[in-house]
Structure formats: C-alpha cells, structure tokens
Structure 1
C-alpha cells in the first residue's frame, strides 16, 4: 500500500513542478526519507506527516470522490506530456494542439 501511495506522491509532486528537495524542505523531512517513501523503500509514515501530504497534494480520496474517477488518467497523461516536452518539444506541442482542437470540435457537436 505504501508503495502505491509513494508512486502517487511522486506523480502529484512532479505534476506540481516541485523538486524532491524543495518538497521535502516544505514538509520538514529529509529528502532521503521522502525519496524512500516515494520509491516504497520505507514502510512507516507518521499520521502527522500523512496529514501534511494530504494538505499539500490531496493525496487520499475524499468521501465524495469517485474511485473510478478519470483524474488519475489526467495526471498520468500530464506527466507523460511533460516528459515528451523535455525530449521532443515539437511533438508535445503537436499532441497538445491536437487534443485541444479535438475537444473544441467535440464540445461544439453537443
């Protein structure tokens, strides 16, 4: 469970554009601990730290949140788009433009 949570922490932190070191400093923990948590190398987490993570990242589902929600797909796609932008900015721009135009087209049909 912590490994899955760690992966989610890393994705959400990365999507916010916050480095591991900066986020660890903000949360008042060592970068090593945060890295170990994100990679599933630690099996402990204090409740007070979990509350800080929830406050910063909205990590855990709230009761009104649907578990089949599409948000994790958005986050994953955004992460991949940012990765693509680093190695192929033109490709990322093309893909994003295509998605934007497709959304506009589909919304006009409704």
Structure 2
C-alpha cells in the first residue's frame, strides 16, 4: 500500500514541479523520510502527514457518486468495526448515543 502511495506522491509532486527537499521542508519531515516514503522503503506514516498529503494532492479522491455523508458514514463504520474488536462496550455506548441523539433530533423536527 505505501509503495503505491509513495509512487503517487512522487508523481504528483513532480507534476507540480516541487523538489524533494523543498516539499519535505513544507511537510515538516526529512528529505530522507520523504524519499523513503516515495520509494516504498517505509511502512509507517503519521496521520497528520497523510492529511497534509491529502490536502495538497487529493491522493484519495472521493468518488463522484459518493456524497460526503456516505463517505463519512463508511469511515465511521470501519472505525467502529475496528474498535469493536478491542472494546465492544465502547462501540455499544457510541451507537446508543447516536441512536438516541437521532431520535431526539427527529422528534424536534416534527
């Protein structure tokens, strides 16, 4: 996965004419780390860095037919599934809270 991500970052960076050292400085990482990311030699990436890359290059574009609410709900679903493996009670609490909140909001709209 990171190899494909790195290739995409390098391609987009080069298309914009941004040098490796310059872009590494902008991202707040070392040129060596960015080079390793681009060549698939690293298997870790901080979420903040991934967010910066997404903001700059839209690495993970939303599908045109997918609305923001669909995208967000699918992300939440995946996160809840992962959390459920470690803490099912927390997932149950979150789901109950959301369900009750929706009920309250729907009653207020009637």
Output the TM-score relative to the length of structure 2. Answer: 0.57
Quote the residue 1:26 is aligned against. Answer: 26
Q: State the Cα distance separating 1:15 from its structure 2 match.
A: 0.1
Q: State the Cα distance separating 1:65 from its structure 2 match.
A: 7.3
Deviations 1:34-55 (A, max 9, x none): 0000000000001111000001
Distance in 2 of aligned mates of 1:53 and 1:65 = 23
Per chain length, whose mean CA-contact separation is higher, i.e. which structure has more relative contact order (CA < 8 Å, sep 6+)? Answer: 1
Quote the residue 2:11 is aligned against. Answer: 11
Q: State the Cα distance separating 1:63 from its structure 2 match.
A: 3.2
5+ long unaligned stretches in structure 2: 67-110
Q: Report which of the two structures shows the higher radius of gyration computed on alpha carbons.
A: 2
Q: State the Cα distance separating 1:32 from its structure 2 match.
A: 0.4
Quote the residue 2:63 is aligned against. Answer: 63
5+ long unaligned stretches in structure 1: 67-110
Distance in 1 of aligned mates of 2:58 and 2:27 = 14
| TM-align CA RMSD | 1.6
Quote the residue 1:39 is aligned against. Answer: 39
Q: State the Cα distance separating 1:62 from its structure 2 match.
A: 1.4
